[in-house]
Amino acid sequence: LYSKKLPTYVVRSRQKMKASIHFMIRKVPLEPISEKSPKGLCIELSRDDDPLFLYTTSIFEDDFQHIKEQQNLLISFDAFPNKLIELLECALFEDCKPEPKYVLNFYCTSSDFPHWNGTRKSEFQAMIEIAESNQFKHLVHLTLTFEVANQNLLQKHLCNLVSSLKKEKCRVNEQIFELETQLNKQKLRNDEIVASHGKQIVELEKKFQIEKDELRRNQQEERRCLQEKLQDVSSTNEELRKNLRLVEVKLKEAQQREEQNTQEMQRLKMSLQNSDREVVELEKMRNQLETHLRIVEEDVSEKEAELERWDNNFKELLSRNMNLEETLQQQRTAFDALRQRYDDQCEQTKKGVEIIRKIKDGSAFFKKKATATANIVRQQERELQTTKSLIDDIKADQVKMKEKNEMLQKKLEEKEEEIKKLQESLTDYQGQLQAKEDMIRLLNRNFMNVASGRSLSTMHNTGISNLPYTPVLDAPVN
């Protein structure tokens, strides 16, 4: 179930030291061994540095019930192994911290255990304790007693150690052999590298000797040139000394002139200071003028930008105004044509009314029909009159729209919407006039039939008198 090395504090003769103890947990059946034998828990403690350190304990269900009652445990026997492993892992995890929360304490004898209250035996050979430390006290989660392993278990443990050591020895020997093989290969590579580097060193020594001889020749040549230059410098030095004496005489004269120039310079400095003050004042005035000029230039640039924006807006408005005038001219032309058609229809309606009045005296039955038709015609005349007034109103609205367009160019978009509405209304009027033309043509056809001598019964049979009447101008006018 579990096999790990855990850091444990070993207490022996009241002395405490830290060691690494190997914990191994496995399940074992109860003796005598059979298929139905209950399985218990076997825990072994061992150390790598002490082969004779081997402690064991076996916990079966009866032993666990005694431990549970004695230590007030809250888990069952089935959950005990997992909980024990969890506590051991907590101790391993907390060991890396400076102040571990969970610790393992191993007491070699009962006298080393400070707060032991006794077991079924008065004394025990060893005990392991799993404790938790907090800010107030140490809390012991679990204590388990152990016994020194018997001779058989110790021999088996030692045999396992010897076997593992042999395996470890074989593994180490294999590693040593591999390392020796790698070392020999590395030596061969090093010998090859040394041989190749030796050849390079010989070649470099030859190159160095050649360069050394060449540098020596160059040095001798430079030395000869420097000696010649030294002779030239010596002769030049004599000439410079002569010139130096002449320069000293001239220097005295120059010092006298310098004194005179110093006095003149002081006088000029005074005048220069006065000039500087004047220049500062002029500079202030110039800065003020430049500031004022920048402000004026900014204003001019803003005015120019504003003027250009107004020019663009004016051009755009002019173009839109021209488009609107063209649209109005087209609407006016359409309106004149519509008015002409309206006048023609009115004339035809009057003729129809005259014909109806003449036919009225023909028959009583036809009189009723004619009366109804006359009422319809009068109603249509009233509707036509209403349409005429509406058209006059529309014309007046168009005049007002034109005046507003000339006065307020900023409201062109609103006027365009109104023109669209007028176009829709004119379309409606055209549809209404077309319906009235159909009605008048139908009446003319009936009147012509009556005038040609057709009887009223024939008119009744043809269905002319039963034609449904649908008012054309009942639609709402925008």
Cβ neighbors of 379 (< 8 A, separation 6 or more) are: 471
Place of tokens 């039939």: 449
Q: Out of 86, 118, 149, pick the residue that ends a domain.
A: 149
In a domain, 170, yes or no: no
pLDDT of residue 476: 42
Nearest to 433 by CA among 396, 383, 375: 383
Domain hosting residue 394, numbered range: 317-462
pLDDT of 176:
92
CA angle, residues 122, 41, 26, in degrees to nearest 5: 130
Q: Examine residue 190 and state whether it is found in any structural domain, yes or no.
A: no
Amino acid (1-letter code) at residue 421: K
CA distances from 457 to 129, 443, 444, 466 (A): 131, 17, 18, 12
Looking at residue 174, its pLDDT comes to: 92
Single out the residue in 149, 183, 199 at which a domain terminates. Answer: 149
DSSP letter assigned to residue 30: P
Q: Which two tokens stand for residue 281?
A: 């004042």
Tell me, yes or no, whether 447 lies in a domain. Answer: yes
80, 41 in Cβ contact below 8 A? yes
Phi, psi (deg, nearest 5) at residue 243: -65, -30
Is 92 part of any domain? Answer: yes
Residue 279 is assigned to a structural domain of this protein: no
How far, CA to CA in Å, does 252 sit from each of 238, 241, 256, 264, 470?
A: 22, 17, 6, 19, 134
CATH assignment at residue 83: 2.170.210.20
pTM (global) more than 0.85:
no
pLDDT by position in tens, the chain (length 478): 888 888 888 888 778 888 888 888 888 776 655 556 667 888 888 888 888 888 888 888 888 888 888 888 888 888 988 998 988 889 888 888 888 888 888 888 766 655 544 444 444 578 888 888 877 888 888 888 888 888 888 888 889 888 888 998 999 999 999 999 999 999 998 888 888 888 888 888 888 888 888 888 888 888 888 888 888 888 888 888 888 888 888 888 888 888 888 888 888 888 778 877 877 887 787 788 778 778 877 877 777 777 677 777 778 877 877 887 787 788 778 778 777 877 777 777 777 777 767 765 555 555 666 566 667 767 767 777 777 777 777 777 767 766 766 676 666 666 667 667 766 766 676 676 677 677 777 777 776 776 665 444 444 444 444 444 344 334 344 3
- What is the spatial distance between Cα 117 and Cα 113, in angstroms, rounded to a whole number? 10
**100, 128, 149 - which closes a domain:** 149
Residue 237 falls inside a structural domain: no
Residue 296 inside a domain? The answer is no
Give domain status of residue 127, yes or no. yes
Q: What does DSSP assign to residue 385?
A: H
Domain count for the chain, please give it: 2
Residues facing residue 29 across a β-bridge: 39
Q: What is the pLDDT of residue 363?
A: 54
Please, are residues 140 and 129 in contact by the beta-carbon 8 Å criterion? yes
